Amino acid sequence: MYIVMNLFILFLSAALCCSPANARLFGNNCAKIETPDDFDVDKYIEKSWYIQRQQTNTYQPEDDLYCIVATYNKEGERQWGRRAITVRNYANSGAVNGPSPNGDFKLCATPRFRFRKPAELRVAPCYVPASLGGDYWVVAFDPNYEWAIVTAGQPDQEGACSADSFLCTLREDCKIGFLPCVGNGQGLWFFTRAQNPDSSIIDAMEAKALELGICTANMKDVVHEGCSYDGATLK
């Protein structure tokens, strides 16, 4: 989601540390994710998304899981010549309505492929080539786009689920020596349109993740009760 260090260095590092050749694969038993072909990006970006549950990662520790919201727009932004969707991510650190480490920071999202797999995007700072961005896959969504499950690519890691379940997740950290990096392979999120959705919606996402072979045991709840989202872009 949002990024708290020098973005260009981090995304350049991601290309090195998070490539498939260096990934710690959980065998070959992970279910292969096929993203939906009927994904409609215009419907997806109609309204803001509130993140309800997610895994932590190198750029979002557990202390930053407050009031997280993502808003996407077509603003005519171009990323190295390609049309891009503007991504604005917002969160509070330490507490509800606490400081927002990066304010309403802007990123760019571009399709991973030009003419196929519309639900597979790449996200990076707008001045960085999309090829160095992090994978952003919408692996499942409600027919009315009231919820969505997003992964940072193909799950290939053993999470906190039972090993014999063959449920897989995504990595929660990435390092080159002692330096952190971000990019492909870090991130699992549950999105909803509602700030505080009914528990049945969360249950539906949990069931869908299980059906897809995704382990959700490493996910943490994001707090939204009492959030004012001061300074966030919402729609």
Q: Which residue has the higher pLDDT, 225 or 156?
A: 225
For residue 71, give the 3-state DSSP assignment: strand
Identify whether the C-beta of residue 108 lies closer than 8 Å to the C-beta of residue 89: no
pLDDT in tens, 108-133: 999 999 889 999 999 999 888 888 88
Average pLDDT over residues 226-230: 97
Tokens of 206: 């949990």
Range in 21-25, 52-56, 93-97 with the lowest mean pLDDT = 21-25
Average pLDDT over residues 75-98: 89
The H-assigned helical ranges of the chain are 7-17, 41-44, 199-211
**Whole-angstrom Cα distance, residue 151 to residue 40?**
17
Range in 25-34, 59-68, 216-225 with the lowest mean pLDDT = 25-34
Quote the pLDDT of residue 181.
54
pTM given for the model: 0.85
pLDDT in tens, 62-84: 999 999 999 999 988 777 777 89
**Structural domain count, the chain:** 1
**Whole-angstrom Cα distance, residue 117 to residue 86?**
19
Question: Does the residue 231 lie in any domain?
Answer: no
Question: Does the residue 23 lie in any domain?
Answer: yes
pLDDT tops 70 at residue 28: no
Question: Does the residue 230 lie in any domain?
Answer: no
**Mean pLDDT across the chain:** 85
Question: Does the residue 227 lie in any domain?
Answer: no
Instruction: Tell me which residue range forms the domain holding 216.
Output: 7-221
Residue appearing with tokens 């969707």 = 85
pLDDT in tens, 124-178: 998 888 888 889 999 999 999 999 999 999 998 888 887 777 899 988 776 555 5
Average pLDDT over residues 27-49: 92
Question: Does the residue 57 lie in any domain?
Answer: yes
Identify whether the C-beta of residue 109 lies closer than 8 Å to the C-beta of residue 44: no
Alpha-carbon dihedral 169, 100, 229, 124, rounded to 10 degrees = -50
- Going by the DSSP 8-state scheme, the letter that residue 64 receives in this structure is G
Could you tell me which residues come within 8 angstroms of residue 162 by beta carbon, excluding any fewer than 6 positions away? none
Question: Does the residue 2 lie in any domain?
Answer: no
Q: Which residue has the higher pLDDT, 7 or 213?
A: 213
Identify whether the C-beta of residue 66 lies closer than 8 Å to the C-beta of residue 234: no
Quote the pLDDT of residue 178.
54
Tokens of 134: 């992090």
pLDDT in tens, 179-209: 555 555 789 999 999 999 999 999 999 999 9
- DSSP letters for 136-180: EEEEEE-TTSSEEEEESS---EE-SS-GGGT-EE-BS--EETTEE
Predicted confidence band at 5 (pLDDT cuts at 50, 70, 90)? Answer: very low
Quote the pLDDT of residue 16.
38
Question: Does the residue 32 lie in any domain?
Answer: yes
Question: Does the residue 188 lie in any domain?
Answer: yes
**Whole-angstrom Cα distance, residue 109 to residue 37?**
18
Quote the pLDDT of residue 175.
56
Could you tell me which residues come within 8 angstroms of residue 166 by beta carbon, excluding any fewer than 6 positions away? 29, 30, 31, 213
Predicted confidence band at 24 (pLDDT cuts at 50, 70, 90)? Answer: very low
Identify whether the C-beta of residue 133 lies closer than 8 Å to the C-beta of residue 123: yes
For residue 87, what is the domain's CATH number?
A: 2.40.128.20
